[in-house]
Amino acid sequence: MANSNSNPSSIFSSNHIYYLAPLLTVAIALTLFLPSFLGSSPPPSPSPSLPISDKEDNTEIPINITTAVDSIGTRQREPFSDLKLAYDRWDSEVGCSQFREKFRRWKVNASVVQPADAVGCSELKLDHVSVWAKAVSWVPDILDGLYECRCGLSCLWTQNEVLAHPADVEFYQALGPPETRKTGEPLRAFIDLEAWRQPSKHEDIFISYHSSSDVQATYAGKTFRITHSYHIADKKREDVLVYWSSSRCIGHRDATAKSFLSLVPHHSFGHCLNNVGGDDIAPTMYPDCQMEDNPVPHWWDHLHCAMSHYKFVLAIENTWTESYVTEKLFYALEAGAVPIYFGAPNVWDLVPPNSIIDASKFESVEKLAEYIKAVAEDPVAYAEFHAWRRCGVLGNYGKVRLASLDTLPCRLCEFASKKGGRNAPSTQ
């Protein structure tokens, strides 16, 4: 093999060294000074290894499509408040086609959500089911009504015993059902969406947040907060980045919030770590959040409206366990903010891709805070956290909403019909 130095085309030949020296000098200068010119060096990437799989054999494949969140820190820092302008920038620099292609084969665990047709039409034993919501508190009155469900089934849901008589199902929320039932008596259904609640074995039907329950009810629907102010702010604050609200002060959750919030400009509403001057100050700070038909303000009435003024919302679950993703995260998504999430390890199975900032992907709260500050001054990257909503890339999220409390009446009635309603065998 000929010596490379004798090759006249080699870039390292003595004839070319003279020309390369200035180029090397420029390259070194750019390496040293370009990050400073752009505003800062890129922050650590928090992105998980996105669960992309091949459709044919389910094997992992590398991602070779990069978008704005993959290059945070390479653009000059640019404070902004107008989300629509940020959308326009993202549309021109990235766009939905590229975003859809990136997440086209995004892998999620479908088993974390019960399918809408979990009960087959051939399994139904009754054409009509009557549910008496006997012992409820937070389950809203708006669920009351007569429903036309799948497979020709009709479903009456009411808190009135007379209208339900004779009931096929007695629905309990605050109090547990009797231990036994006789054939001819209503089925006993119990709902509890907290992570700690387990079936007592006295229920005929157990309803919880988890797909392993008889009937699943997620927190993703709108029925939970139907009376809230849904006004959404047109602009985002630049001076205060993070919204947090909690009025159930739990030690470990408050400690997590305090350690992170101490590092970023924030407003804390509610009872816990309040720094805005009171629990019900949102309508004063944001007059657009005032509800005309509710002159007495309560902090829970203004959650969506108030948090919509901020780029980020801190969402910390009181229990960190599989599939337990509550309204704390879904409120923020619907309010047009980006959740900073501490909670379920499988959260990506329940939310749209690239819709949240998963705190578990960071080495420390300091690294997380650094990343939040960088995103807050990168309108293109920030807009990409909203791309799922604008480009229709949902993952399991659409199914999660279909399994929410909004659709519980029909799904409960279908399950009760499958069991035979009052004609179900005795539990004695």
Residue 166 lies in a domain: yes
Residue 274 lies in a domain: yes
Residue 323 bridge partners (DSSP): none
Does 392 lie in the same domain as 409?
no
**pTM of the full predicted structure?**
0.84
Residue type at position 372: I
Does 418 lie in the same domain as 292?
no
Does 390 lie in the same domain as 302?
yes
Residue 180 lies in a domain: yes
Residue 156 near residue 133, CB atoms below 8 Å: no
Does 320 lie in the same domain as 267?
yes
Does 320 lie in the same domain as 242?
yes
Residue 159 near residue 153, CB atoms below 8 Å: no
Domain residue limits at 391: 224-399
* CATH label of the domain that carries residue 229: 3.40.50.11660
Residue 83 lies in a domain: no
225-266 per-position pLDDT tens digit: 666 777 899 999 999 999 999 989 999 999 999 999 999 999
Does 242 lie in the same domain as 331?
yes
2-32 per-position pLDDT tens digit: 343 333 333 333 344 344 444 444 444 444 4
User: How far, rounded to the nearest angstrom, does the alpha carbon of residue 79 sit from its chain's CA centroid?
Assistant: 26
Does 235 lie in the same domain as 171?
no
Q: Where are the alpha helices (DSSP H) in 196-275?
A: 251-261
Residue 50 lies in a domain: no
Residue 428 lies in a domain: no
Q: What is the sign, positive or negative, of the torsion defined by CA atoms of 151, 152, 158, 162?
A: negative
DSSP element (H, E) containing 184? none
- What pLDDT tens digit does each residue of the chain (428 aa) get? 434 333 333 333 334 434 444 444 444 444 444 443 344 444 555 554 454 444 444 444 445 789 999 999 999 999 999 999 999 999 999 999 999 999 998 999 999 999 999 999 999 999 999 999 998 888 888 899 999 999 999 999 999 999 999 999 999 987 667 778 888 999 999 999 999 888 887 899 999 999 999 999 999 988 776 667 778 999 999 999 999 999 899 999 999 999 999 999 999 998 999 999 988 888 889 988 887 766 666 666 788 899 999 999 999 999 999 999 999 999 999 999 999 999 999 999 999 999 999 999 999 999 999 999 999 999 999 999 999 999 999 999 999 999 999 999 999 999 999 999 999 988 76
Does 319 lie in the same domain as 170?
no
Residue 184 lies in a domain: yes
Measured between alpha carbons, how far is 112 from 318 in angstroms, rounded to an integer? 20
Does 377 lie in the same domain as 319?
yes
Measured between alpha carbons, how far is 283 from 100 in angstroms, rounded to an integer? 38
